[in-house]
Structure 1
């Protein structure tokens, strides 16, 4: 499918806040006040905006383990990028270019994203997603996170796969067949082919929907005794917590 150069990415807002993408009304418009280039999120190491955000998340989770906060933050950011990319691909037939995108970090909720009117991304939708989301955002994000807190690459890949499956669960209510086919293809390719198992459609009990079981853990269970494990965790119950 060729990308539609006139795709109105602002329509994604109707799906939910993680899917929202602001764009200029004209080619001469500039980002709204308070926005910074998205690439700055991946710069600065322990003194950059990503490191500062990890500390904010740690405070809100009431955890002293920065690696737990960094993993949860990474999972949320991955969900933000997948939602924009896959949502646009499924609902508009085009993946928005994010190489010149701008961001604003609110006090609560997902980051705000604004992108100028750039050249439409070309290629098949899976190829567009790999170029724009995986190479353009998730790879530098993982590198930036690991520069702040030591986390395994496998864990972060699992987070990204989990976030993609979560995006699919939302899109199941809008364009299930198209979304399931596209997400299954992306998850079946490197670098996500070994991150978990995706199940869609009937599950043998008469139920329908999407389920994903990852082969790694995001560490959320370490937030506290009542945190439990996520629905797609490799664990069925929280492991015994050791001191970090």
Structure 2
């Protein structure tokens, strides 16, 4: 089986877990941005403006955190699921992506169904781009990635797949190492991160289930 076929087969296998695990492939219409636009041009700053307006915040770093939280949830979920089922892990580097921000939130899709690389190499260019645009701390952004990966593991485990060993493997090395810790909890994957995504800074916002801060 070719690499293309193996990646497509894996994406078909995992897409039913939840909408966050559904990753489409192919060139979309012209409302989408090329992945390169994450680091160049006005697409990312314009999107951060939309997020700030949507959530009524003047804190640029909050908008940056929310953008990256959505970005990692949409991309790390299928990556983690592919590893959990022993399939071909897709390439989620910016060069292989299309993306756009709509009233429904951030959407992403692959250019080609090819195999990917590690989490650090896949996400680091976007961490740097969001940090440059908002001054939000890199450690906080990697904490968002850790939270997204842990959330994916929790969803996958509820489908009956044992994810304990994969959780240990994913969080054994940087950049996810140190972003949080797994807490023993019968029949569940529970995670507490070491940084806060800043959602509580929004009007009407609060703390998330994995937040290290006291509930608000």
TM over 0.5: yes
User: Secondary structure of the equivalent of 2:191?
Assistant: strand
Q: Is the 8 A contact 1:37 1:102 kept in 2?
A: yes
**Bigger radius of gyration, 1 or 2?**
1
Q: Where in structure 1 do 4 or more consecutive aligned residues deviate above 3 Å? A: none
User: Secondary structure of the equivalent of 1:217?
Assistant: coil
2:97 and 2:124 map into 1 onto residues whose CA distance is: 18
Q: Is the 8 A contact 2:71 2:106 kept in 1?
A: yes
2:164 and 2:46 map into 1 onto residues whose CA distance is: 36
2:4 and 2:167 map into 1 onto residues whose CA distance is: 20
Are residue 171 (structure 1) and residue 168 (structure 2) matched? no
1:183 and 1:43 map into 2 onto residues whose CA distance is: 34
CA separation of 1:231/1:89 partners in 2, compared to 1, >3 Å: closer, same or farther?
Answer: same
Q: Is the 8 A contact 2:90 2:113 kept in 1?
A: no
Q: Is the 8 A contact 1:18 1:83 kept in 2?
A: yes
CA separation of 1:65/1:197 partners in 2, compared to 1, >3 Å: closer, same or farther?
Answer: same
Q: Is the 8 A contact 1:4 1:92 kept in 2?
A: no
Superposition TM-score, scaled by structure 2 size: 0.85
Number of matched pairs = 209
1:61 corresponds in structure 2 to 55
Q: CA deviation at 1:5?
A: 5.2
Q: CA deviation at 1:4?
A: 9.0
1:111 corresponds in structure 2 to 107
1:10 corresponds in structure 2 to 12
Q: Which runs of 5+ in 1 are unaligned?
A: 25-30, 122-127, 239-244
Q: Is the 8 A contact 2:4 2:113 kept in 1?
A: no
1:94 corresponds in structure 2 to 88
Q: CA deviation at 1:175?
A: 4.4
Q: For each residue in 1:117-159, what CA deviation from the matched residue of structure 2 results, as whole angstroms up to 9, or x when unmatched?
A: 43x45xxxxxx4xx2x3212x2111100011101112111211
User: Secondary structure of the equivalent of 2:158?
Assistant: coil
Q: Which runs of 5+ in 2 are unaligned?
A: none
